[in-house]
Structure 1
Amino acid sequence: MTFDKYRVFETELAGRPLVVETGKMTQLANGACLVRYGETVVHVAATASAKPRDGIDFFPLSVDYEEKLYSVGKIPGSYMRREGRPSEKAILTSRVIDRPIRPLFPKDMRNDVSIVATVMSVDPDCAPEITAMIGTSIAISISDIPWNGPISGVSVGLVDGEIVINPNAEQRKVSDMSTTVASTDSRIAMIEAGANCVSDEVMYNAIMAGHEANQKIIEFIKGIVAEIGKPKFEYPSNEPDHEMFEAIKAFAEEDVKAALDTDDKTVRDERLKPIYEAVHEKFDEIYPESEAKIDECLYKTQKFIVRRWLLDEQKRVDGRGMDDIRPLASEVGILPRVHGSGLFTRGQTQVLTIATLGTVGDMQLLDGIDDETEKRYMHHYNFPSYSVGETRPSRGPGRREIGHGALAERALLPVIPSMEDFPYSLRLVSEVVSSNGSTSQGSVCGSTLALMDAGVPIKAPVAGISCGLITEGERWMTMVDIQGLEDFFGDMDFKVAGTHDGITAIQMDLKISGLLPEMVKEALEKTHKARNYILDEVMLKAIAEPRKELSKYAPKMFTTTIAADKIAEVIGKSGKVIKEIQAQCECKIDIEEEGETGQVFVAGLDAEKCQRAIEIIQTIATDPEPGAMYLGKVTRLMDFGAFVEIAPGKEGLVHISQLDVKRVDKVTDVVNVGDVIRVKVQEIDDKGRLNLSRRDVLIEVDGLTPENNPDEERKPRRDGGRGRGPRGGRGRRN
């Protein structure tokens, strides 16, 4: 069989071949391509419905980035042995692809458009996410779907102070930056960044380097379109009639101005209700069956007013200056039984974040197509309907919630202490209790407060703020800390999080085709000043540094090191030994093998019991020697003495003459089964049997003698062992 329409197009990106194939597969889609970047292969298909969807007031675009585990030679670990719901990373990648392409579709189109990018093969040096973004641009560009593309996207790293385009796997491990930049042929269309506190200048230079690298790929895509691109189809516009809009605007404009002119979202909404009712009462008969379009005209009237105020009068709806931040407040220790909590308020936006400290074994296990298999620091973001005064049932996090949670997670990750310095897993949950703009950055601030309240020794506090944009032809202006109305009617939501010294995360959402370089630079400068103000004037006044002590409800962590060949003895057959220690000491134990040693982590609420577990493990892992002292449990009683287990499988005899400093007539006068006593190894006979002494411990440690302890009844000590203090590492689950 021959494929008459089969075409292959080749170029190079960051020193690696980029090959695009069309015309062989997916002949029934509106547009499709197979993109090979190195040995990474992504198939992208773009389809559109023949007719618009009725009754909606938005453009129905869906983007799905599908990770297939066969692409990395894995079989899914689920019961069904097939891919289920998309991973968090796949959802985030779908959002990253969606954001730069969405503004380039006609705003009045209501035909469903679906983009499906399927990862079929992964070369670790050639990111499938970037390959999918480029493939998406090609598939839409060559299709008959109306679109004002193409775009291109690259990843930008910072390795040893040098900017690197599309860093390979080894470079990504040491890079101080992971920034995705998407561009059109003239503007920057999307920025998504995580960074290790880099300066504004370095970030700006990286964005510009990515924008420049994109231009070569855009020209490459234009060449493909020129050769095989289809004519774009016609669609019925959903734009309200111009005459209708002008009539409604003339009728309602002054009332809408009066309604919008307040800093209280609740008051604004109440003022707008009678205006909507009056408009429908007047125009429903004039324009029958056009209820949605009448609402659209009212929306456009509000947008017209807000934009005119900003551009012509430098007036914001709440009366603030362009660089003013809404009233701020910070509190910590809101919830008494959790490990840490912080409430951050900016205007009518409020976020309560809760920090939970967990054990090594509480890390999240990942089953994806990259090398990351577990995650120690997790951030989850919840946006209930009541936060915006609406009524709808909760159905779990959507893509927006997952995206905002990931942004806050990325913003805090550079300041989280290492496992060696702080051997805990961490989960933060941001509950948005009130929303009027920029809740994602509120969750960044709330997370810093919660971490410090929990006693997590973060490297530096992080704050987040957003910057908005209004454009009209060649005119444009930016404003700091946009509230909901300015987000709805503006052109940009440029979110930046960072410390005093540098940027840790960026997420840029646009409703226009892209930004000029000077817009990016101004947004970076304004957000830097704003986050410093938030840190100094509010957050650090609520809590200046992390608490020195953890909550009494947080698990206590202890660690010790044993030889790797002793790990099996500590775990025991089918985990019997380690389970027994955990049950006896009411703790959780994780072990990680590192070369010739094993790191043992013990966590529990009772520090004394954790120390006892450490001592038992050290006893198992260390061959007993004469003179060594141990804490042991009495397991059996004989007329001639008591058998004491100093560790699972290691038992010795305390002869009746060695039970006390005074004469003992009956073993049960001193000890009973189940008692925990400290003993000393006197000798190990040729058969490996242990002869133990409690008497020597009483003399050497407690300083007792028969003279100063006459016929006083002796009771066994119940003190715990002494383990080393908290250190770090990751654990083997048991």
Structure 2
Amino acid sequence: MFENFKVFETEFAGRPLRVETGKMAQLANGACMVRYGDTAVLCTATASPKPREGMDFFPLSVDFEEKLYSVGRIPGSFLRRENKPPEKAILASRLIDRSIRPLFPKDMRNDVTVVCTVMSVDQDCSPEITALVGASIALSISDIPWKGPISAVSVGLIDGQYILNPTSKQREQSRMAVTVSSTAERIPMIEAGAKIVSDEEMYEGIAFGHEENKKIVTFIESIQDEIGKVKFTYEAVHASDEMQKDVMDYAGEAIKAALDTNDKNVRDARLEPIYDDVFGHFAEKYPDSEKQLDECLYKTQKYIVRRWLLDEQKRVDGRGMDEMRPLNAEIDLLPRVHGSGMFTRGQTQVLTALTLGSASDAQLLDDIGEEKEKRYMHQYNFPSYSTGETKPSRGPGRREIGHGALAEKALLPVIPSQDEFPYTYRLVSEVLSSNGSTSQASICASTLALMAAGVPIKAPVAGISCGLITEGERWMTMVDIQGLEDFFGDMDFKVAGTKEGITAIQMDLKINGLTLAMVKEALYKTHKARNYIIDEVILKAISAPRKELSPYAPKMMSTQIPVDKIREVIGTGGKVIHQICDECDVKMDVQEDGHIFVTGLSYDNLKRAMTIIDTIVHDPEPGAIYNGKVTRLMDFGAFVEIAPGKEGLVHISQLDVKHTDKVTDVVKVGDIVMVKVLGTDDRGRLNLSRREALIEVEGLVPENNLSEEQQNRRPPRRDDHRPGRPGGRPFHREHE
């Protein structure tokens, strides 16, 4: 039935890689099922036969589709089906897009769609890497014009040894997670997260991954040689050479003068009449060609900027190649938020606000990954006003999600552990003005917000981008690229990290790849710039994380109890934990390992809640003092509950430091009173004393207030008290 069914097999990082073609999705231009271990991803590539009308860029769409049946789970949505893609799937789509896009013809306008459907997941064999390799194979064997193949590999670092495509357990131990996409000669995409690794370690890891990719590229080429289709010819959509020359000759000098400023607003204002003039001047010679003329004007600007950089080492705003724009950092701009910081670089400006929450505020994840929740969230917003444009807000797109994830990856290595600082974090970076490198500005602004909030981060993190201009064998890099250098240049190499090392990398490329020499220079230049930002800008705005939290931030204490005591703290139907929360005005999060996190706005309330938990878990020790609630009154005394399920008798003789005739003269039901534990009787009942607590805490002078009549009314209980059960209270921390 499947006459064209073929199977190709090789080894990839020590595990079997199997490619099946000619069986599934046979109507696509190219399709394959890629099996890596037990991970299975169906990858397809399709293209429209004709270019899309009115399109002035290459319309590529990449979708990484997560199916929860691949990990044996039912979706958690109301409809119990996959809805919009989770952030992890969007990030995987961007990863594939950035790897394959540079290798398509720049003048093609046919729609191309690449879909990678994850159908089975082996957590030791990354579905993202499998999909990237599968996308490369589907495009290579299709008739779609593309200059591949590429391969991709994930590189880890454990005990000084580089690991290819690390397993789930190895990923937990690894100091880096670097995805490298490459052809046999060049590297078109790098995405990295790292636990503060050196430039040398990062460079060697990238080179190590590139070597493995060469083997898989050779494997894909063998598949292409055997079953690959002839690439179709397409209708190139671009302005004629004659039109380009006419526009360059007519408006080149005017455009050059307009571009020569460091102010984006001035530049845009200067260019607007030039555009109108060009459209009017060539309306008769080139009728109905406004889009083509617009393209010629774009290419003219690009030519001028690139010639300045390559021939004159001149940047649009007059800076040197390794000189950054004017920098500024501020904190505490928003008085009621838990932490805020604003970072300005030239005309790029980002304000980050930090909110601290309890453990229950962590984000629940419903995707194919192993992680079920995360306590650190970073979100990035890019409103239209930041570029001086007007358009309705439609919520975060793929770009915003990607930039937020990059900032999250950059800062996560310096966030204190849950034991050290058990808060949930939500950082929101608002782009107020954009002229290049907003994602890196959001990292700097977020460092300021964290330090201003009093989060004890391990070290400040800064981000900076490096650009690239190439022409044949000539190339040069420049630090801190602004908008025009990004638009007209060949690379946006973003690197974030501390002074000690790298925490994140994201590389966007417009050419077919970098050499290792280009990678090394970009790492060196960004490290030098990063150190300057930290020393001269961030640390001058705030020298260290504050010692205290904002008065508007929740306060937190934590403790760990024996697992077999969790049921007592929660109570039947949550009765006990709800009672504690209501009485103390706090929130409590109880984890499976016995960790308890108590959150509230008052340290007094937190301490009260911690004391109640301590009392539930451990027998009250003689001499301990508690605040308890009066629950019942008898002629001979009052019963006081010092914790849910922990009630004791305060005999009438122990109610006050002075003589007491009636219990109701001193207390009533519902009163909160301070009591001291005297001990327990032979039946395990608590004996409490308000009198002793008042003497010890408030220093009141006692009177002999036990009359003979009262002694005769005293219930038959033992006078001697067995000592409380030995053992310490659970350790708890105050997080201020």
1:17 aligns with 2:16: yes
Alignment counterpart, residue 726 of structure 1, candidates 719, 725, 733: 733
Letter in 2 for 1:573: T
Q: CA deviation at 1:692?
A: 2.3
Secondary structure in structure 2 of the residue aligned to 1:188: coil
Match of 2:581 in 1: 582
User: 1:558, 1:724 within 8 Å by CA — same for their partners in 2?
Assistant: no
Match of 1:366 in 2: 365
Letter in 1 for 2:24: M
Match of 1:428 in 2: 427
User: 1:60, 1:113 within 8 Å by CA — same for their partners in 2?
Assistant: yes
Q: CA deviation at 1:26?
A: 0.6
Match of 2:726 in 1: none
Alignment counterpart, residue 636 of structure 1, candidates 632, 639, 642: 632
Q: CA deviation at 1:292?
A: 1.1
Please give the alpha-carbon distance, in whole angstroms, between the structure 2 residues aligned to 1:198 and 1:564.
38
Please give the alpha-carbon distance, in whole angstroms, between the structure 2 residues aligned to 1:727 and 1:667.
38
Q: CA deviation at 1:59?
A: 0.7
Secondary structure in structure 1 of the residue aligned to 2:592: strand
Secondary structure in structure 1 of the residue aligned to 2:608: helix
Secondary structure in structure 1 of the residue aligned to 2:93: helix
Please give the alpha-carbon distance, in whole angstroms, between the structure 1 residues aligned to 2:103 and 2:254.
33
Gaps of at least 5 residues in structure 1 are 710-721, 729-734
Please give the alpha-carbon distance, in whole angstroms, between the structure 2 residues aligned to 1:679 and 1:563.
26
Q: CA deviation at 1:599?
A: 1.8
Please give the alpha-carbon distance, in whole angstroms, between the structure 1 residues aligned to 2:135 and 2:518.
26
Match of 2:381 in 1: 382
1:45-56, aligned counterparts within 5 Å?
Answer: 45-56=44-55
Match of 1:731 in 2: none
User: 1:558, 1:723 within 8 Å by CA — same for their partners in 2?
Assistant: no
Secondary structure in structure 1 of the residue aligned to 2:342: strand
Match of 1:406 in 2: 405
Please give the alpha-carbon distance, in whole angstroms, between the structure 1 residues aligned to 2:284 and 2:358.
66
Secondary structure in structure 2 of the residue aligned to 1:593: coil
Can you list the C-alpha shifts for 1:679-698, whole angstroms capped at 9, x where unaligned? 13345445544332211222
1:170-185, aligned counterparts within 5 Å?
Answer: 170-185=169-184
User: 2:658, 2:704 within 8 Å by CA — same for their partners in 1?
Assistant: no
Secondary structure in structure 2 of the residue aligned to 1:208: helix
1:108-147, aligned counterparts within 5 Å?
Answer: 108-147=107-146
Please give the alpha-carbon distance, in whole angstroms, between the structure 2 residues aligned to 1:467 and 1:414.
22
Can you list the C-alpha shifts for 1:467-508, whole angstroms capped at 9, x where unaligned? 000001111111000000000000000000111111111111
Q: CA deviation at 1:642?
A: 2.3
Match of 1:58 in 2: 57
Letter in 2 for 1:189: P
Please give the alpha-carbon distance, in whole angstroms, between the structure 2 residues aligned to 1:231 and 1:445.
49
Over the aligned positions, Cα root-mean-square deviation in angstroms equals: 1.7
Q: Which moved more, 1:126-135 or 1:564-573?
A: 564-573
Can you list the C-alpha shifts for 1:535-594, whole angstroms capped at 9, x where unaligned? 111111011110011111111111223222221111112112111111111110011232
Match of 2:316 in 1: 317
Please give the alpha-carbon distance, in whole angstroms, between the structure 2 residues aligned to 1:83 and 1:331.
43
User: 1:422, 1:726 within 8 Å by CA — same for their partners in 2?
Assistant: no
Question: How has the CA–CA distance of structure 1 residues 707 and 637 changed in structure 2, closer, same or farther, with 3 Å as cutoff?
Answer: closer
Q: Identity over aligned residues, as a percent?
A: 71
1:345 aligns with 2:344: yes
1:40 aligns with 2:39: yes
Please give the alpha-carbon distance, in whole angstroms, between the structure 2 residues aligned to 1:127 and 1:251.
54
Letter in 2 for 1:512: I
User: 1:408, 1:444 within 8 Å by CA — same for their partners in 2?
Assistant: yes
Can you list the C-alpha shifts for 1:390-444, whole angstroms capped at 9, x where unaligned? 1011111100001000111111111111111111111111111000000000011
Secondary structure in structure 2 of the residue aligned to 1:379: strand
Letter in 2 for 1:400: R
User: 2:560, 2:730 within 8 Å by CA — same for their partners in 1?
Assistant: no
1:570-649, aligned counterparts within 5 Å?
Answer: 570-594=569-593, 598-624=594-620, 626-649=622-645
Letter in 2 for 1:565: D
Can you list the C-alpha shifts for 1:307-357, whole angstroms capped at 9, x where unaligned? 111111111110001000000001111111111111101000001111111
Match of 1:652 in 2: 648
Please give the alpha-carbon distance, in whole angstroms, between the structure 2 residues aligned to 1:300 and 1:33.
38
Secondary structure in structure 2 of the residue aligned to 1:125: coil
1:676 aligns with 2:692: no
Q: CA deviation at 1:371?
A: 1.2
Match of 1:163 in 2: 162
Which ranges of 4 or more aligned residues in structure 1 deviate by more than 6 Å?
Answer: none
Q: CA deviation at 1:622?
A: 2.0
Match of 1:562 in 2: 561
Please give the alpha-carbon distance, in whole angstroms, between the structure 2 residues aligned to 1:562 and 1:498.
37
Can you list the C-alpha shifts for 1:93-128, whole angstroms capped at 9, x where unaligned? 111110021011111111111010011111121111
Q: CA deviation at 1:28?
A: 0.5
Please give the alpha-carbon distance, in whole angstroms, between the structure 1 residues aligned to 2:288 and 2:630.
87
User: 1:157, 1:165 within 8 Å by CA — same for their partners in 2?
Assistant: yes
Secondary structure in structure 2 of the residue aligned to 1:514: coil
Task: Give the number of aligned pairs.
Answer: 713
User: 1:466, 1:481 within 8 Å by CA — same for their partners in 2?
Assistant: yes
User: 1:326, 1:347 within 8 Å by CA — same for their partners in 2?
Assistant: yes
Q: CA deviation at 1:378?
A: 1.1
Please give the alpha-carbon distance, in whole angstroms, between the structure 2 residues aligned to 1:234 and 1:625.
86
User: 1:117, 1:136 within 8 Å by CA — same for their partners in 2?
Assistant: yes
Question: How has the CA–CA distance of structure 1 residues 727 and 69 changed in structure 2, closer, same or farther, with 3 Å as cutoff?
Answer: farther
1:695 aligns with 2:691: yes
Please give the alpha-carbon distance, in whole angstroms, between the structure 1 residues aligned to 2:734 and 2:508.
41
Question: How has the CA–CA distance of structure 1 residues 204 and 625 changed in structure 2, closer, same or farther, with 3 Å as cutoff?
Answer: closer
Match of 2:550 in 1: 551
Letter in 1 for 2:176: M
User: 1:423, 1:727 within 8 Å by CA — same for their partners in 2?
Assistant: no
Q: CA deviation at 1:150?
A: 0.7
Letter in 2 for 1:457: P
Secondary structure in structure 2 of the residue aligned to 1:613: helix
Letter in 2 for 1:459: K
Please give the alpha-carbon distance, in whole angstroms, between the structure 1 residues aligned to 2:661 and 2:89.
74
Q: CA deviation at 1:149?
A: 0.8
Q: CA deviation at 1:706?
A: 3.1
Please give the alpha-carbon distance, in whole angstroms, between the structure 2 residues aligned to 1:690 and 1:173.
49
Q: Which moved more, 1:271-280 or 1:699-708?
A: 699-708
Match of 2:279 in 1: 280
Please give the alpha-carbon distance, in whole angstroms, between the structure 1 residues aligned to 2:587 and 2:184.
56
TM-score of the aligned structures, taking structure 1 as reference length: 0.95
User: 2:178, 2:192 within 8 Å by CA — same for their partners in 1?
Assistant: yes
Can you list the C-alpha shifts for 1:350-393, whole angstroms capped at 9, x where unaligned? 01111111111111111221211111111111111100001011
Match of 2:723 in 1: none
Match of 1:186 in 2: 185
